Each structure stands twice: as structure tokens, then as C-alpha cells.
Structure 1
Amino acid sequence: MTNIDKYGFSADRPITKLEDDLLGRAEFSKNLSDAISQWKGHDSLVIALHGDWGSGKSSIKNMALAHSKQQENSPTIIEFSPWEWSAQDKIIEAFFDEISKSIGRKNTSKEDQNLANIFSRYGNHLSTAHTLLKDANLSIPLLTTAILSTGLISSYFTNNSQLILLITTLTSITSLVLSATEKGNELLGKLSENYEKKAKLNEKTLKEIRDELIEALAKRKTPLLIVMDDLDRLTTTELRMIFQLIKANTDFPNVIFLLLFQKDIVEKKLTDSTQSGENYLEKIIQIPFTIPQIQLKQVHEVLFKLLNNVINSHTDANKKFDQKRWAEIYHKGFKSYFNNLRNVYRFNSTLCFNFNLFKNNDIFEADPIDLIAIECLRVFEPTVYAKLSQSKKAFTTLSSSYGDNQSEKIKYSRVIEDVINSASEKNRESVKEILTSLFPTIQWIISNYHHTHHSYQEWFTQLRICHKDHFDKYFKLSFDSEDFSTSDFINFLQLTNDRERLKEKILALDARNVLEDFLSKFEAYSKQVPQENFNSYLYAMLDAGDEINSESSKFLGFSAQTYLFRLSSWCLEDIQDIKSRTKILSDYIRVC
């Protein structure tokens, strides 16, 4: 069975292939890959790839790795995500374990199987001290890891029993901090037990294992490429642990570290009273790269392509799409929210879903531009969206140019201002422009311009959010709660060519006690009655006029009968030729 993506969801995952590049970054990725593949040195190389959130760091990394795999003598690639292990507090153990497994799995040569084994034993030595002491004092495991990994102390010990003595000494210091608590006793017991096992299982000292590891790495014809992404998600303690781990092993030959993170975030986390985060990173990272800046034109081209797919998914939505209105909303505020592909895909996923909710067979039950704009506010300005949903009267009330509306104007003005001010500061002006375009009904408040009732009726037929009868569905994301859908009015229009069927429809609506409300809203559609249907349309209303309720259900409102007579009168007014108008009426009277 074929699965069809009806809702157009995007998982917002980085691209993995060079051919999927939409932003012209494939060449940069290839060059990065070539530089890594051609490097060979006696010490480790630490490369950083900097970029803001959503700027495409992971996509560039994926393309670079894909290109590397296609080359001869490509590096052995090991992707390690410390963020995935941070919650379990097993970063160091997982780091060496992942390297060992990757080398052993990806390479079948005897030399690399041996290298995997050495990495495993080396990692076991380092992770034991860290794991056992982490609950006592984080500075001690970091210090222990750094000291042991450099081999400066382990070189003085010829067997594991002497190394145990060192750890026991460190443990004694820790015990002073723990004050012989139950937790402290448990940790000390675990420490002793684990190192006794280590002494039985391992014959070589840590320095000997380290030397063996360096020798094995130096013999490799291709480097190990260790990739770490999302470092900016780590806590300050975890970041220091990772960078200490890298720094302590920079003398490993044929090893390249590729680190991906947002520079300002990591620098801020690493800054303390002793040094700035910038200086901290400079001591570790040898080659920093900043990813190429995204061209907004390219991002917006992707946005337009996706929006076209959404609009073209329904014929009526495409028909309703007003290019002039779209250009106004896009340039005045909409485009400011799309400066990276992540925002584009995030927005498109929710828009696709909500767009489908308004498909009612052949009718699209919303204005597509209004839906796009309001979805933009929902995704990127949730506070604005929430306040707007509670401000229906302020945004949909049409005021006449007659009379004194000053008190109402002041009240609504405060509501509108509050909604606009709840936007993010950098996009506040964009929100104001979007709302002004969506709600021409507020122009009498902000610019003293008054629209006519005729305009308000047009907005009703266009399903605009600015009309009080359509406002709610843009927030409920449903038209089912409306008394009448657009298709109800379209169907009524289609019946105007059949006198008997139209009469039956009118009487059926009256029997449901909804005719008065239906006709009051159909008035906005009355100008769409085809002229060739005038006779049957007019006769059906006159036929039904005597059989329906002549009393209004609303105080000072029009009755259903009055609405029928109003519609009949407007129909006759639209017949310009007086003789034709007279003939229609005289024919009806003669037949009756």
C-alpha cells in the first residue's frame, strides 16, 4: 500500500545528499571534505563549524561526510552526539565506546580491530575514575581524566596496584568532602571494587595503553574523523568535560575532531571569572569555520515553491488567491519571519495541515491569504495570536462615518495597541502591517478611514477574517461550527435556475427556523445570481413569500419575509430595461 503525505509534514531534518542542496552550499561542503581527507599530522586537528540555530550546520556536515565517503582513502567517520548521552551522565564512557565500536564495525582489517580494542581498554580506564567520582565532586573526575589521559602520573607506576594507590589517595580527599555519609561510603566501596577488577583484567598501565594507541594511530593510512554536533545543547559542565577530553588527547596522530555549535552560546556558557569563553575555545580549536551566509532570495524561493504546492492543492483556494493582496502582506511583514529553511519547513508543515481542514469538497471555506498570514502569527508570534483570538469586536467592528463613536474608538484602539505590542520587539512593525492588511475594519480606528457596508458584505463572500461571521473559524480551525458554510450559499445560487427546487429550499430553511439568518447573509451573495436566472429566482421568492413567517425572531430585526422582498426588489433593480422589468412582473401576476 502506498502512503501519501496528505498533510505535507516536514520532519525538519538536515539534508544528507549533495544533490538535495537548495542553498548553493554543496561546493563549500566539498572543499571542507577535501581539506579533512588530505590532512595527515603527528597531532590531532580540531576543526569547528560555527553557525546560528537553523543556519544549516548539520546539512553542511552531512554533505561533507557524503562527499568524503565517495573518495578514495576516505577517513573513518565516527559521529558522536554527546547531547544524547548527557542525561545519562555517561559522556566519557560513551565517547570511547562509540569510537571502538565504529572502528570495529566499519573496518575488518586486523590492524583496525586491534585499534578498536585499544580504544576500548583506554576508555575503560578513563571512564572508571569519572563514573565513580562524578556524584562527589565534578572537578575531581575532570582533573583525574585530564591527568590520567596525559600519562604524566601513570608513567611513574609500573603496575595497576600502584595506580590503585593513586586513585585511593584521590578518594581519600573526596571522602573528606563526603564526610563519611552513606552516599560517600557507597561510592568508595564501588571505587575499590571496580579497580580490583581492573587490576585482574588488565596487565598494562594506562601509559602503556596510551603509547600503544598512539603507535597504532600513527600507522593508519587514513585519519579518524570524529564528528560532534549540537554541542551548544550541553550544559556548562558537560561542555567543559567534552573540551577537556579533546584537549587531553590532542597528541593523538591521524585524529580529526569536527565540532558543530553556535559560537556565541558556547562562549557564554564557558565564560567565568577566570577567562572568557572566546579565549577558552581559542586554546583548543585550531581551525574555525563560519558557514556561508544564507541568501534570503534562495530561502524565499523554497518558501514560494512550498506555498504554491499548498495553494494548488485545491482548485477553489487557487481561484480565491489574490496576488495583489499577497504581495502587500508578503512585503509589509510576512517575509521577515523566513530567514532560514528551518522556519520555512516548520511553517509549511502546520500550514499544510490546517489548510486541509478547510477543504469542503469543491469549496475552500477560508480566504487562503488570510489563512497563510494568521498561521504565520500562530507559529512565530503565539502571544499575538492568542490575544487576537480574544479581540474579535475590536478587529471586526465596522463603524459608520455618521454618529459619535469616540468612546468605542478609544476602547478598541487600546485593545489593538495591546495586541501589536505583544509581538517580539524586532518584528513589531511587521505584525502591525500584517494586522492592518488582514483587518481593513480597523482603519476607522487607526487612520479615520471608514469602509462602506457594501465592502463589509464583499468581505463576507470572500470569507475574510475581518468579517465577524468568519473570524472565529480561523482560530477554531474549523468551519463545522458555523450555521452556514460557503457551500450552502453556493448551492443556493445554483438553485436559482430552478423555480420549484429553490422554493422548496426556502421553505425547508423556514421549517428549520434558520431562513431569516440565512437570507440576511445571502444578501452579500445576491449580486452573483446570473441574469439568465432572474425569472426563476424572482418567482421562487415571490411564491414562498406568502408561506413563510412574517415576524422577526430578533428585536428590531427584519423578518424572513422582509428579506425575501428586499432580495426581490434588488433583483428587479438590476434589470436595467424598464420594459423587461415590467414584463417579468406582469407575467407572474397573470399566471397567478
Structure 2
Amino acid sequence: MADSNSLPVDHPITSSEDDVLGRAVVAQDFARSVRELDASQGVVVGVLGAWGHGKSSFVNLMREEFAEAPTLPVIEFNPWVFSGDQQLTDVFFREIAAELRLKDQSKFGAIAEGLDKYGDVLSPLAVIPWFGSWFDRAFKATKAATTWWNDRKKGSRTFRETVSDALKQLDEPVVVVIDDIDRLTTNEIRDIFKLVRLTASFPNVIYVLVFDRRRVEQALSEDGVPGRAYLEKILQLSFDVPMIPTEVLRTQVFERLDVILQEIQGLRFNGAIWPDVYVEIIDPLIGSLRDVTRLALSARPTLRALGQQIEAVDLLALEAVRVFRPEIFQALHDARLALTETHSLWGRTQDPDRKAEIDALLRVAGADEGLVRALIQQLFPAGRTYIENNNYGPDWINTWKREHRLAYIGYLELYFGRTLPSDLVSFQQSELAYARIADPDALGEYLDSLPREDLESAIAGLEAYQADFPEESVVPASVTLLNRIADMPERRNRGMFDFMRPDMVVTRVVIRLLRRLEDETARERAVREILAGVQSYSSQELLIRSVGRVEDPTNALISAECTAELDDDLIRRVRTTESSAPGGEWGLFRVLWFVAERDGDEYVPPPLNDPVQIRALLQSASSVARAQSMGSRHVREEDRLAWDGLVRVAGGEDTLAGAVLRLRESDGASPLVLLAETYVAGWRPEEF
């Protein structure tokens, strides 16, 4: 049994209890009109309507009236089942005969037998003995060849009269429903109407033909004779199934989609954008209840798979295009970069390749160009630069990313490929981090749970939320982030122009956090609180330098007086107190250099006895020099140390050489030790 959340598939309704269009009364009234027809010489009735407009359902509603006393037996023949490899004439009479036997052998047996023989002599295969389906029926069904030949010699008229005489004895007519005629090929449609014409005068037989008028008229038109005139000669009565009111279709769309939306936990659905997207994109594509069903069935797996990650309104819009306009959907895929790339207002020019992609998309759309333009306006604002005088700059990317819109290329690629791009993996991690940004314990626990190689991108993604950082998160979040710089590995695979480092990534987020405090006094108070919670001197120095000791004083977040005071306090602590996190001093070289520069000749180097401290010092003074030749993609790399600076902060080359020796005793021939030993031996790098 289907559960309450099950969606109807594309099957006709079978009962007035399922009638959502209010057609039951109309169908039953029409069925009563059919009853009242004089069927003494046969009747042909048509139920007409476009594909998907409920013709089969309408006939099923008529059956309910036919089932009322006095009951009219209803025989159904579906030519689509037999089209193709079997001749319709060969199966038509056999199928109707079989249906009559099932209804009542005693009542319809003689009619069925007569129809069987009538079909035998009319079948185009019957003129070729021992061939095809005639052989199967005539011989495998125990019909002797001599019997068939005797029947054949009698001709069709004899058996027609036999069938007619038997039909005249019926108290009520038999209704023969022939559905799905419009699904047949042109030749098959003509065959069906020839069969009906051959048997239309059988007494007490009412044919109910169900088809799309335009399709059948087109198939029956030949030699200058319009198909409509042909139909008018055959049909005594017809009913055009009415178009479904737009309001009813919309109600059905909303009801069926609501079943889907309610079952998905954490679904992203923006009610503010839904009305425009529905009216301008989805509604023009829905023309029948069949369309409603197709959209609901197609959208369900997509929403289940992606509805928690991508805005559901966007998904529904593209699913509607995919289902009803697949050629436009393919063109959207081809133009995905043109639809999502933003352009700076400065020196703004249209990319000719991207413009060509949008032009190709509009050409494919043809009569649906207006729909595609609405799609661009509602879902892909970046593409508007190619269809109107409107531009969306790079700043919008973070907005689309936060809102999980397909306007962001990462989400669009996820929709098309069903594989999460690496940048979206990082952004999802950033989202989860942002959800904890005001809780230092929860934020720290989450960041610590991530692979170390993912920390940098997860923290960098927090910039997308800078406009929404709550003020209460400034201090706890800054402390948490600054304390994790040492946990972020330096990536050696950076490109030539990728200059970001873990400390720079954290700095950008911390600065944006502090900017949420508009008052300078509040910022200075927050910086002091942050410094009290930061463990390493390296991160403390970074914070003071980033907010106060900047090249352009107008960009400072704290006053020069506060900066000087914080610097003096840091230098005092570095001189007198060992770091509480020696292994986490990711920037020890810079801290000591700052102290040495401030102290000048009075600088007193720290004792370099602890291998942990020595290792931190050398690592923080190391770098990778990169060079790339013109015309080559290969990037050459060379490890280096700021040797002269190390000599300065260590208090001399001999002192530094002794520290390297102590590190050798602790770490052995590690890459860092080997690099330092080459400097001790006198090697110096050449410039690339």
C-alpha cells in the first residue's frame, strides 16, 4: 500500500474518488448521452483532447455510469500494445472476441466465435497459408487447415451476418473503447479507422475512440482530402475534453511538490524567490496534469539528493527545463561559464566567447526565448551582462554561495555532475564553522576535527559571512582562529601567483571580525582580550602588526598609542618569559627579529638550547623560492632560509651553527637540518 507521501505516477484515474478536476459529473452526463443514442446500426463516439489532458481518465469516469443498471459491457482494445510487429487487423477481432468471452461466455460466445472467423478471413496474413501469426492462430490453436479453407471460401459476408444476428439479440449495446490512437504511426492510425469503418454498422456496438484530434486529422489527410472531413463521416458524437484551468494546474503542482518538500529534512527553500521563479519559468512549461506528474516524479530524486545543499527553487526551475525542454537544458550546460562568471565594473568588456554561448542558448530556445531570458534574470544574474545593460561584480559570488544558488558555478557543477567540487567541500566546512562562530569550544572542536590540509580553506571561506559576523563572536572566534595557525600546514604546491599563507588567511578573517566593532575603543578592548587568550607569541605579534602596525595608518583598527603599548608589553614578555606553546611558534623568527630591531645594540638573543625552539625558529625562517620559465608550465622550487636574519636573532653565526648541531642530535638528518647545514657549510642560493 502506498504511504501518505507517495506521488501518483502517470496513470489515468479509475474512480471519481480520485477526480481532482471535477470532471466526474461531466463524464457521466456524456456517458448518459451515449446511452441514449440509437445503436441499432452501430455508433462511433469520439473523446478528443491533447496529450496529457486526461482523456483516458475521462473515459474511466464514463465507465462508472455504464456500470449502472442496465449495465453496458465495456470492451477495451489498446492498439498501441499490438502496433509494430503485429498487424492490427490480425489481432483486432481476436482481442475483442477474447474480451467478450471473459465478460460472459454464455451470453457473448456466439458473437466471439463469429468475430474470430470474421477476423480470419479479413486478416491480410490469412491469404498466405502457413505464415506468421495466422499459422500460430489457425494451427497451433487447433484450427485445422481444412476448416479454415472452408471458412475462407464462404467469404466475410457470411460471418458478418452471423455476428450481426447475434448482436441484435443483445438487450443492451456493447461499448468498445479504443484508446491511445494518437500514439500510433500514421499508417497504424489509418488501419484503425479502416477497421472501425468496416465494423461501424454492427448493431448494438458503440465504439468510443480516444485520441488527439490534431494528430489524427493530420494522419488521415491524404490526396487533398482533409482528415477532419474523414472524421466527420465516422463520428456520430464527440466530446472535447476541456483544457485544465491554470489555477487547477497550479494547485496540483503545489500539492504534489509539497509532498516532496515536506519529506526532506534540512531542505533549502526560499519562499521569497519562489513566486517569480514559478510564474516566469515553471508555469509556462506546465500544460497538463501529465506535465504536473512528470515534474513531480523527476524533481523528487533531485531534491532528495541535492535539496540540502542547493536552493530548492533553483533546482525545481532547472528540473522543469530538463524535463520539458531538454534541448534548452543541454544548451544551459554548454553555457554554464557564461551564466556564472562575474565581471568587474572597471574596464568591463564582454567576453566574445561567453557572448557566443549565450547567443547560442537563445537560438536553441527559439519560441521559448522569453523563458530563457527569465531563467537568466532569476537564476543566473551574472549572465545578464550579455542580454541587458546590467552587471554583477565578483562581490556577488559570496552572496550566491551563502544562499546556495545555482548562480555560483560550484553549485551549478554539483547539479550537473552530482559530484561535489572541492571548493564546495571547503565551503560546506566553512558553513559549519560559521554556525559555531560565537562558541569558542564548539568552533575549536569542529576545526580540530577537520583534516589539517582542509583547515586553511575552511577558515578562508568564513570571509563570505563577514557582513553577518555577530559582535559577540569577535573575541572568541579570533582567539580560536589565531591559536590554530600552527596547525595549518604550509602547502608546497602553490602556484606562482598564490601568495596566501595560513597566517594571512587567518588575519583576513580576524580583521573582518574586528571591523564589526565600529568604535575604536571597543576594538582596542577586544584586541587586549584576544591577546590574553592567544597562546603563541607568533600569533600575538601577528595580531598587533595586522591591526595597528600597518603601512597606511588610516587602515589601522587601533590607535598608534595602543599599538605602542601592546608592542612594549609583547617585547617585555618575550624577553622574560618562555613561550607557553614552543612547538606552536609558527612565526618565532619574525617575533625575535621584531624584538632585535626594537632593541638594537641592546638586543639579547634567547638561549637556543631547546630543540623544539630551534626547530620552530628555523622553520619560521624557511621559504620556498619559485621560478617559471617563459613558455613552460613547470614551476621550479628551491628551499631557502633567511640566514642573515637568523644569524642576527641567534646572536652570531657560531651560535646559530651550534643550534643547528643540537637540532641534528635531536632530529637526525631531517630536510630542515640538511638545509641548515648547507648554510653552515657556506652555501648560499643564487637568484633564479
Q: Which band: TM-score by shorter chain?
A: 0.7 to 0.9
| 1:249 to 2:244 alignment | no
Aligned 8 A contact 2:43 2:201 in 1:
no
Q: 2:408 aligns with which of 467, 471, 476?
A: 467
Query: Structure 1 residue 516: deviation in Å?
Result: 3.2
Residue 36 and residue 295 in structure 1: after superposition, are their counterparts in 2 closer, same or farther (change >3 A)? same
| 1:393 to 2:393 alignment | no
Where do 1:549-568 residues align within 5 Å? 549=489, 553-554=494-495, 555-568=497-510
Aligned 8 A contact 1:333 1:429 in 2:
no
Q: 2:90 aligns with which of 89, 93, 99?
A: 93
SS where residue 234 of structure 2 aligns? coil
Residues 475-502 of structure 1: CA deviation (Å, up to 9, x unaligned): 1134376551664233212443454664
Q: 1:525 aligns with which of 451, 459, 465?
A: 465
| 1:450 to 2:391 alignment | yes
Q: 2:113 aligns with which of 114, 117, 123?
A: 117
Q: Which amino acid aligns with 2:166?
A: A
Counterpart for residue 627 of structure 2: none
Distance 2:129 2:231 in 1: 24
| 1:288 to 2:238 alignment | yes
Query: Structure 1 residue 37: deviation in Å?
Result: 2.7
Q: Which moved more, 1:518-527 or 1:414-423?
A: 518-527
Q: Which amino acid aligns with 1:233?
A: R
Q: Which moved more, 1:540-549 or 1:81-90?
A: 540-549
Counterpart for residue 186 of structure 1: none
Q: 2:456 aligns with which of 516, 523, 540?
A: 516
Query: Structure 1 residue 74: deviation in Å?
Result: 1.8
Where do 1:269-348 residues align within 5 Å? 269-273=219-223, 275-317=225-267, 320-348=268-296
Number of equivalenced pairs: 524
Q: Which amino acid aligns with 2:127?
A: L
Counterpart for residue 380 of structure 2: 439
Aligned 8 A contact 1:365 1:485 in 2:
no
Q: 1:430 aligns with which of 366, 371, 377?
A: 371
SS where residue 19 of structure 1 aligns? helix
Gaps of 5+ in 2: 135-142, 536-688
Residues 235-291 of structure 1: CA deviation (Å, up to 9, x unaligned): 343333322222222332111111111122222222222622222222222223222
Q: Which moved more, 1:203-212 or 1:239-248?
A: 203-212
Query: Structure 1 residue 462: deviation in Å?
Result: 0.9
Counterpart for residue 355 of structure 2: 413
Residues 524-551 of structure 1: CA deviation (Å, up to 9, x unaligned): 1344444433322111112223554567
Q: Which amino acid aligns with 2:476?
A: S
Counterpart for residue 585 of structure 1: 527
Distance 2:524 2:343 in 1: 38
Query: Structure 1 residue 130: deviation in Å?
Result: 4.5
Counterpart for residue 42 of structure 1: 40
Residues 369-415 of structure 1: CA deviation (Å, up to 9, x unaligned): 11111112211222222222233331111111112x32x44432222
Residue 14 and residue 559 in structure 1: after superposition, are their counterparts in 2 closer, same or farther (change >3 A)? same
Counterpart for residue 647 of structure 2: none
Counterpart for residue 606 of structure 2: none
Distance 1:315 1:266 in 2: 47
SS where residue 359 of structure 2 aligns? helix
Counterpart for residue 545 of structure 1: 485
Where do 1:46-61 residues align within 5 Å? 46-61=44-59
Q: Which amino acid aligns with 1:56?
A: G
Residue 431 and residue 5 in structure 1: after superposition, are their counterparts in 2 closer, same or farther (change >3 A)? farther
Larger radius of gyration: 2
Aligned 8 A contact 2:426 2:461 in 1:
no
Query: Structure 1 residue 332: deviation in Å?
Result: 2.3
Query: Structure 1 residue 195: deviation in Å?
Result: 6.0
Aligned 8 A contact 2:269 2:312 in 1:
yes
Aligned 8 A contact 2:121 2:155 in 1:
no
Gaps of 5+ in 1: 142-192
SS where residue 469 of structure 1 aligns? helix
Q: Considering only aligned residues, what root-mean-square deviation do their CA atoms show, in Å?
A: 3.1
TM-score normalised according to structure 2 size = 0.70
Aligned 8 A contact 2:42 2:204 in 1:
yes
Q: 2:22 aligns with which of 24, 49, 65?
A: 24
SS where residue 294 of structure 1 aligns? coil
Q: Which amino acid aligns with 1:525?
A: Y
SS where residue 131 of structure 1 aligns? coil
Where do 1:255-270 residues align within 5 Å? 255-270=205-220
Counterpart for residue 157 of structure 1: none
Q: Which moved more, 1:549-558 or 1:432-441?
A: 549-558
TM-score normalised according to structure 1 size = 0.80
